[in-house]
Amino acid sequence: MVRKKVKLAYIENDSCRRVTYRKRVKNLVKKTRELSVLCGVDACAIIYGQDEQAPVVWPSSEEEAKRIISDYNSKSELDPSQRGFNQYTFLNDSVIKAKERLLKLQRKNREKQIANMIGFG
């Protein structure tokens, strides 16, 4: 959205599309992190790239995922009724399971790559 007002449509040119993809993923992840920190909410971003083996996921660090899982578990202990089948725990559960699985799948070098990509810190 700059030297020309780009219309919201699939970018046909492969080269342009990939450049745009990398730039935008980087900032999408950055924004997700900012929202989470600034507002103290849990947020999650998942992007399935075209050729990439694993999707880009945030939160991706072990620390972050552990914190979220830990929060969830401690809440459940405090109030067992929260384990019931309601919308909130239901959805949280799905996301947490996905996160747990992702944790196992992520490779150290992949994490470093993404961290570097978004200019982590």
Which residues lie near a copy of itself (CB under 8 A)?
Answer: 6, 8-11, 17, 20-21, 24-25, 27-28, 31-32, 34-35, 37-50, 53-55, 87-88, 90-92, 94-95, 97-98, 101-102, 105
Q: How far is the CB of 90 from a copy of itself (least distance, A)?
A: 7
Is residue 4 a contact point for DNA (CB under 7 A)? yes
Report the alpha-carbon distance of residue 115 to residue 26 in Å, rounded: 9
3 state DSSP class of 24: helix
Whether a cis peptide bond, with omega within 30° of 0, leads into 59 is yes
Is residue 3 a contact point for DNA (CB under 7 A)? yes
Q: 17 vs 112, which CB is nearer to a copy of itself?
A: 17
| Cα torsion 104, 95, 9, 34: sign | negative
User: For residue 85, which amino acid is it?
Assistant: F
